[in-house]
Each structure stands twice: as structure tokens, then as C-alpha cells.
Amino acid sequence: MKRIVIFASGSGSNAENLINFFQKRDNVSVVQVLTNNPHAKVLDRCKRLKISALSFNKIAFTATEDVLNILKSSKPDLIILAGFLWKFPELILKNFPNKVINVHPALLPKYGGKGMYGMHVHEAIIKNKETETGITIHYVNEHYDEGGIIFQEKCKVLATDSAKDLAEKIHLLEMKHFPLVVEKLLTSKE
């Protein structure tokens, strides 16, 4: 059985999508969700879905080995960042090499880096009059949005699109592709 730990900071729609997808599989399981936001809606989703969920603060994440020890005890085959907004510490990355992935709401390397998440990305794409956008699923390294690209899917940006319209298009791409890419990653390592 392959084991997944998800990190999320907000509503948790991607986390819930992954949990639901893998609850229907017998070879992969989401074993835990971790959040840096004690008020994140993802905690409510996990309670409803009967998935273990914990929140932690910056000290537990970056200044101690508390979160690292939680991960070691969970023994994940893959750590998934699904709307997680903090830079991942090198200590965790060194302990889980090539096992941490993220989904980004743009076609990297464009529109990546510190502060480029959610509506900030979509607003920048509209402002710069881009004709396409999409999602990038990538490995996480010590720099924001610079890890190796695993998968990209594009969609058109219409002249009439607003940032909210783009957010909806990107959300649909994430819902469709993220679980499939995760499953492929995990089953190709068997």
C-alpha cells in the first residue's frame, strides 16, 4: 500500500479530491493531512472524510524537527502540496528526496515564485494579456516553483476572461489531472 501525506493551507478542495480519488483504490491511501492554518477549511473536510489531520506552527515546521518526525512516523511514499503556501524546509526535502510534489496554477516557469499563488497568478496572467495558462505539477526543491516539471496541461485565456474565470478553469484542470498524475507517479515506482 502506497502512502500519501497532503499539506494544505486553505479550503482543501484539492486535498478532498485526492482523498476521494484514492479511497476508491486499494493500492494507495491518503494517511494524513497537515496544515499550517489552524482555521483552514481542510480540517473540516478531513473530519468529515475521517482522515487524520493536524495543524502546526512555523516553529514546528522550520525551527524544530516536529513536522519532520510526524512525516517519518507516517512513512509517506509521496508528500503532496495542495494549496500549501509556505516554502518547504530543506531538512524535510533532504529526508524525502524526490518525494515532495506541488500543483501550481500556471505554466511554469512563468508566474512562479514567492507570492505567486491563487488569484495573484490569475490576475498577473490577465494583466499581461496571456493567451494560454494551465497547471504545472512539479517536484519541490529549496526554491519556490523551481523543481523539475512532472506534468503540464494548458487552457486558453479568452479576451473576455476575468481572473475569477481563470481560477475556475484552473480548478477544473487540477481536479481532473492531479489525482491521475499522482497515481501514475506512485504506481510507476512499484
How far is the CA of 133 from the CAs of 12, 81, 118, 171, in angstroms? Answer: 22, 20, 13, 12
Q: End-to-end CA distance of the chain: give it in Å, rounded.
A: 10
Cell 482523498, located at residue: 19
Show the cell assigned to 139: 517536484
3-state SS assignment for residue 13? helix
Show the cell assigned to 91: 531538512
Closest CA to 107 of 170, 164, 175, 185: 170
Q: How far apart are CA 141 and CA 158, in angstroms?
A: 33
78: exposed, middle or buried (Cβ count in 10 Å: 0-12, 13-18, 19+): buried
Active site residue 104: yes
Catalytic residue of the set 104, 138, 143, 171:
104
CA 7 to chain CA centroid, nearest Å: 7
Residue 50 near residue 31 (C-beta atoms within 8 A): no
Q: Which residues are catalytic?
A: 104
